[in-house]
């Protein structure tokens, strides 16, 4: 959530920021009005409570009828005003929940993904001597992806990874973990369910985000959309020593997404599915180092994609296309030669600086040099999203005979050079 003090002290800045993210800036004015009323009520209530405490204390000594009736009257007033305050309080919180994190000033302005800024293209696209096929055609023929059966068993947007595709998943996970553990990321396998309370604290239950989550009403738990959602809360209520920063985690989890609002989009295959596995990075840093850490996480992503020798490009996401919790976001888009007419870059990774938007919610702090406790900054980044990186591998490494070469770096993990 946003800092209430910032909204009060610098409403114009907040309005400008949320507007860049296509959120109605009038919400800010609405918040300020409610906040002001809330503050007045709170003050009145505190004063009455002080009075009540004084009378109660006195009654400990002297139980006069006079005092008692005074106290009873006071109690009624407090109950009434409390009810009013609670209404204001929840209205105020609702609006706060509708305000996204503010983009940094130098994030490219734009309304949607068409205005994202391509920062660089890396790697050489292979020159195929034949027309490259799309991954699904290849994978189904090899029998390593089965979407038809999955649809029968679980519905649309599910898939089986079989045989070497299943093995490839674990090879990719090992590659990512081995690479990142060397960089002192702490490996973690987190829960894939999360309480509404913590999910909200992580800034992931804003009204329009809710629709994309699976919810288990009987247990009042959500299924996570990313390991990020349950790794971040490792810092919940903690105060880290400045010397222990950055704190880096690399997690593996299954991710669940309802993909509501993407009807008709990428309906075939395993590019966009309800369930996939992902390796995820998460960092806690002090504010001064967040931009540096952001670049570092991005460099880790590039290292991983480069290790697979896949061509990719790095994109800075414009304000209108950014994630809810993000102040700056980069995506890595990997080349997929079998997509579209002549190949396409498709998003395989994203990398976000969420500043203190999440840490304020989960109350994750660090101790500064002069002993003060301040909110940490948090960042998250994809390691490998298995389905999508699998697609990139299959399409880039396909051979004319319908097989798939195994990227060199995965051969030892997989124990073979080629899938056929």
Partner RNA sequence: GGAGGGGUCGCAUAGUGGCCUAGUGCGCACGCUUGGAAAGCGUGUAUACCGCAAGGUAUCGAGGGUUCGAAUCCCUCCCCCUCCGCCA
Instruction: Choose, by CB under 7 A, the member of 10, 53, 244, 368 that binds RNA.
Output: 53
Pairing assessment for the beta strands 214-216 and 221-223 based on DSSP bridges: antiparallel
- What phi, psi does 26 have (nearest 5°)? -65, -25
Task: Write the secondary structure of 94-141 as one string of H (helix), E (strand) and C (coil).
Answer: HHHCCCCCCCCCCCCCCCCHHHCEEEEEECCCCCCCCCCCCHHHHHHH
Residue 264 binds RNA, judged by CB under 7 A: no
Residue 57 binds RNA, judged by CB under 7 A: yes
CB of 279 to RNA, least distance (A): 21
- Provide the β-strand partners of residue 345: 335
- Residue pair 343/335 in contact by the 8 Å Cβ criterion: yes
Query: Using CB under 7 A, which residues numbered 358 to 387 contact RNA?
Result: 373
In a 3-state reduction of DSSP, which class is residue 418? strand
User: Which single residue is written with the structure tokens 């913590």?
Assistant: 198
Closest to RNA by CB, 277 vs 321, is: 277
Task: Find the distance separating the first CA and the last CA of the chain, reported in whole Å.
Answer: 50
Query: Using CB under 7 A, which residues numbered 138 to 157 contact RNA?
Result: none
Closest to RNA by CB, 77 vs 272, is: 77
- Residue pair 337/396 in contact by the 8 Å Cβ criterion: yes
Residue 43 binds RNA, judged by CB under 7 A: yes
Query: Using CB under 7 A, which residues numbered 69 to 128 contact RNA?
Result: 71-72, 74-75
Residue 206 binds RNA, judged by CB under 7 A: no
Closest to RNA by CB, 6 vs 109, is: 6
Count residues binding RNA (CB under 7 A). 24
Closest to RNA by CB, 106 vs 370, is: 370
**267 contacts: CB under 8 Å, gap ≥ 6:** 156, 157
Residue 261 binds RNA, judged by CB under 7 A: no
Task: Write the secondary structure of 232-247 as one string of H (helix), E (strand) and C (coil).
Answer: HHHHCCCEEEHHHCCE
CB of 14 to RNA, least distance (A): 16
Residue 417 binds RNA, judged by CB under 7 A: no
CB of 193 to RNA, least distance (A): 11
Beta-carbon count within 10 A of 218 CB: 6
Closest to RNA by CB, 74 vs 206, is: 74
Instruction: Choose, by CB under 7 A, the member of 13, 42, 258, 416 that binds RNA.
Output: 42
Residue 63 binds RNA, judged by CB under 7 A: yes
Residue 258 binds RNA, judged by CB under 7 A: no
Considering only the stretches 36-44, 161-169, 175-183, 277-285, report the one whose residues sit in contact with RNA under the rule CB under 7 A.
36-44
Residue 60 binds RNA, judged by CB under 7 A: yes
**Where does 235-369 show beta strands of DSSP type E?**
239-241, 247-256, 275-285, 312-316, 328-336, 344-353, 365-367
Residues engaged in binding RNA (CB under 7 A):
4, 39, 42-43, 45-47, 49-50, 52-57, 59-60, 63, 68, 71-72, 74-75, 373
């Amino acid at each position: 959530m946003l800092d209430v003090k910032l909204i009060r002290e610098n409403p114009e800045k907040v309005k400008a920021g949320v507007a860049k993210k296509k959120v109605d800036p009038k919400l800010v004015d609405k918040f300020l009005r409610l906040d002001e009323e809330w503050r007045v009520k709170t003050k009145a209530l505190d004063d009455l409570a002080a009075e009540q405490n004084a009378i109660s204390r006195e009654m400990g000594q002297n139980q006069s009828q006079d005092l008692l009736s005074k106290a009873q009257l006071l109690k009624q007033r407090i109950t009434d005003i409390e009810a009013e305050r609670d209404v204001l309080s929840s209205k105020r919180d609702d609006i706060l929940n509708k305000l996204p994190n503010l983009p940094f000033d130098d994030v490219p302005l734009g309304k949607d993904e068409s205005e994202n800024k391509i920062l660089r293209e890396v790697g050489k696209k292979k020159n195929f001597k034949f027309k490259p096929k799309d991954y699904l055609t290849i994978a189904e023929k090899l029998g390593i992806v089965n979407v038809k059966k999955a649809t029968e068993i679980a519905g649309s947007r599910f898939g089986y990874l079989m045989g070497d595709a299943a093995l490839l998943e674990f090879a990719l996970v090992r590659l990512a973990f081995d690479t990142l553990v060397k960089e002192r990321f702490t490996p973690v396998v987190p829960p894939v369910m999360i309480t509404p309370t913590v999910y909200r604290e992580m800034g992931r239950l804003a009204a329009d985000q809710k629709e994309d989550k699976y919810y288990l009403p009987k247990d009042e738990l959500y299924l996570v959309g990313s390991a990020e959602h349950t790794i971040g809360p490792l810092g919940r209520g903690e105060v880290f020593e400045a010397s222990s920063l950055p704190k880096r985690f690399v997690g593996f989890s299954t991710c669940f997404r309802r993909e509501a609002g993407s009807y008709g989009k990428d309906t075939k295959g395993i590019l966009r599915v309800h369930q996939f596995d992902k390796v995820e990075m998460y960092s806690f840093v002090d504010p001064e180092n967040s931009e540096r850490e952001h670049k570092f996480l991005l460099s880790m992503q590039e290292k991983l994609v480069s290790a697979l020798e896949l061509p990719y490009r790095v994109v800075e996401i414009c304000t209108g296309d950014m994630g809810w919790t993000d102040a700056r976001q980069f995506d890595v888009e990997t080349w997929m030669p079998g997509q579209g007419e002549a190949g396409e870059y498709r998003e395989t990774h994203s990398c976000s600086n969420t500043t203190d938007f999440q840490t304020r919610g989960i109350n994750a702090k660090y101790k500064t040099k002069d002993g003060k406790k301040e909110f940490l900054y948090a960042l998250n980044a994809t390691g490998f999203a298995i389905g999508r990186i699998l697609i990139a591998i299959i399409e880039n490494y396909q051979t004319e005979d319908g097989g798939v070469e195994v990227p060199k770096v995965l051969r030892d993990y997989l124990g073979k050079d080629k899938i056929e």
